[in-house]
Structures are given as structure tokens and as C-alpha cells.
Amino acid sequence: RDGQPTFWTYVGCFINNETEHALSGTVLYDFRKMTSALCQDTCSESGFRYAGLEYGAECHCGNRVCAQRARGEDCNLDCRGEKGSPCGGVGRMSVYRVEDRLPGQRRCEGNQTNHTSPYDLDYYWVYSTPVLDATCKERRFLPQKSSTLVALSSFPGAGNTWLRHLIELATGFYTGSYYFDGSLYNKGFKGEKDYWQSGRVICVKTHESGQREIEMFDSAILLMRNPYRSLMAEFNRKCAGHLGYASDVHWRSKEWSEFVDSYSSWWVSHALTWLRFAHRLLVVHFENLQKDLVPQLKTISAFLNTSISEERLLCTESNRDGHFKRSGSRSLTFDPFTPEMRARIDEYIRTVDKALRDRNLSGLPQEFMPR
């Protein structure tokens, strides 16, 4: 942060409910240890100017305050991890404003007419970079309910959560889910709680692969990933959560062998049934997203019939990792796949590659293909 200390000013108590959202950026929940400092640091490090606390445990970030002031005494709840510090109330948010400059900014004199919010200080910000990283973090539900239901389908471990993150940043609209994962909701995927057929989200995550479930969707994005990588990613998640790694004991266990037997056949059947029964389909490869993110996002946005500004694309690229990238790398000292496993998986790869080409689609990326 350019070596400068961060100072926060308490702005006041504001209304925050279904019709008036005081701050509309990142949201963080900590029902045991939330403090004003934790919230302020989270928002500041994410590039936001305002931090707001509600219900004693919710932290909201944003770049402008978009709600009416409430009475100061309405923000009467202490933070769960800090007694005596205002942490909002029921439908009320305690809002703080950062007073130092954010990365890439410098302070210039200005007048009141240049302010983006009536609660700004008597100066405005000039950015030394064309895009602020936070510009794509504000998301919302679709302004009008969509009559078209779009699936975001993948085999588990293929990177569905990552692609949801990218789509939300690029389009500005929430994605939904056929399921409910509280950890994803707490990380800011607000569409996670929405009924999957509500029509309020731009696409819906699913791992289902039955004909009936597929035909409930009007169109689908099918995200595919190298099955070796997918199997290992999903096994890591099952053993150690979204961000953890399975231990060597897990990889050498009977559980891993049984997992590969069951899930590798699911990988091929999942791909084949979506290719067969989807009404309208866009196939996206995880590896291509990694290599050529912006062109891939443009293709996805066209399929979703939505436009993306260059600013949001650049912002998405600079925030590409999101919250669910495993930190560092953990290389195994042995190959967890036996020769028998590899022979079976390689045959599945050839089967899916042929199915794609038979439908005049690009085959699997070359790095998939057995040598």
C-alpha cells in the first residue's frame, strides 16, 4: 500500500435492506470474530473506499454509499469479535471511509461537484492506471427475469466455481446453482441462495447429467477439463475442502482407487449426455480459459447474449483467481494413477474427443490426448 498507513473515518449509520443497498461490492461473513478492523482491511486491500458492517457479523465493501442515512442509535449491535465497536443493526449498516490513497491513486484538489457521493471528502481521485481492480466487483441480479434458463455444466473438479467467478465479474450479474453451498454464498456468490429456476441469474451451475435434468435448460455452457486434473481436484476437495490438499495417505488409500473407478466413468458419461441432449451448447475448455482468458470470455458473453465493456474485461483479468484457487502447489512424489487407471482414462479421452468431432466441434485440447 505504498508504505502509507490506512486511516478510516466513521461516516454514519445507513439503511441497508432489499430496496436500498448502502454498499454493493464484496461481502464477507464472520459470525464469531468480525471486527471493524477486519472489515476495513478487507475492503481496503480489495481496492474499495468504503467499508460497512451489519448485523454484527457482515462486512460489505463499495466505492460509493447508495442509501439514506438512518438514526445513529439504529446501529446498535456490537461486532461479534469486538465489544463496544458499532457493527450496524437490523437492516442498518455502520459505514466507514478510507482516508489514505488506494494503490495507483493520488490526491488532487477539487470541488464538491466532482464527487461521486455526497459523503466524499473535499477532493477527488485521479487514477494513474486506466482501470481500478474493484470496478468489476459490483454485481447484481438480472434487472428483468429471464425466460431462458442457461446451465453452466461441468464434471466436479473442472473449475465451475472459477468460471462462475469470471462470468460474474465480466457481466456484473450473479450466477446461480442447482445446489446450495454455504461457503460459496459466504464468499459472495449471492445467487447461490436463489431458486435455480428464478430467472434472476445469468446462468446456473450444475453437475447433473441425466436427460431429464439436461432438457430442463434452454441452453448450456459445458465446461470441460483434463480428466486427470479434474479427478485430482475433486478428490482434494472431498478430502480437504475447496482450498486444501489430500494427504499422501489419502492418495495411497483404497478410497482413491474406488473414487477413480466411479468418477472417471462419470467424466465420460457427463460429457456424452450433455453433447447428446443439450438444446443449444457452448463447449468451453478449462485449459483454454487459462491461456486465452479475454477471447474466451467474449465468446461466453456472446453466447449469454450480454455485452461486456473492455474495462470490465481488463478488471476481470486482473482479478481472475478469485477466492477458490489453492494457494501454492503440492507436487506428489509419486504417480497416484496406476497403469490400469491410465489405460481406462485414456480410452475415455479418445471417446469424448471423437464425440466432439462427430458434432463438428473442436476436439479436446492436444494436451489432453494420450501419447
Dist CA 355 CA 287 (whole Å): 19
Alpha-carbon separation of residue 183 from 161, 192, 231, 234, 240 (angstroms): 11, 10, 21, 16, 14
The winner for highest mean pLDDT among 29-43, 115-129, 245-259 is 245-259
pLDDT band, residue 106 (cuts 50/70/90): very low
Count of Cβ atoms closer than 10 Å to residue 32 Cβ: 7
Which sign does the torsion angle of CA 333, 336, 338, 339 carry?
A: negative
Per the CB < 8 A criterion, the answer to whether 77 and 83 are in contact is no
Give the pLDDT of residue 326: 57
Dist CA 208 CA 98 (whole Å): 45
Phi, psi (deg, nearest 5) at residue 306: -135, 150
DSSP conformation letters of 88-112: -BTTEEEEEEE-SPPTTEEEEE--G
Q: Which residue has the higher pLDDT, 175 or 181?
A: 175
**pLDDT tens digits, 240-281:** 776 678 888 889 988 899 989 888 999 999 999 999 999 999
Q: What Rg value do the Cα atoms of the chain yield, rounded?
A: 23
Per the CB < 8 A criterion, the answer to whether 287 and 367 are in contact is yes
Cell numbers standing for residue 349 = 479421452
Which sign does the torsion angle of CA 228, 230, 233, 236 carry?
A: negative
**pLDDT tens digits, 295-305:** 999 999 999 99
Cell numbers standing for residue 85 = 465497536
Q: Which residue has the higher pLDDT, 189 or 241?
A: 189
Q: Which residue has the higher pLDDT, 215 or 135?
A: 215
Which sign does the torsion angle of CA 238, 241, 247, 249 carry?
A: negative
Give the pLDDT of residue 82: 79
The set of residues, in sequence order, having a beta carbon less than 8 Å from that of 162 and lying 6+ positions away, is 289, 322, 324, 325
Could you give the angle at the alpha carbon of 107 between the alpha carbons of 101 and 111, nearest 5°? 125
Dist CA 277 CA 262 (whole Å): 22
Nearest to 206 by CA among 215, 50, 68: 215
Per-residue pLDDT for 195 more than 50?
Answer: yes
Q: Which residue has the higher pLDDT, 176 or 317?
A: 176
Say which residue the cell 483434463 belongs to: 226
Helix (H, G, I), strand (E, B) or coil at 10: strand
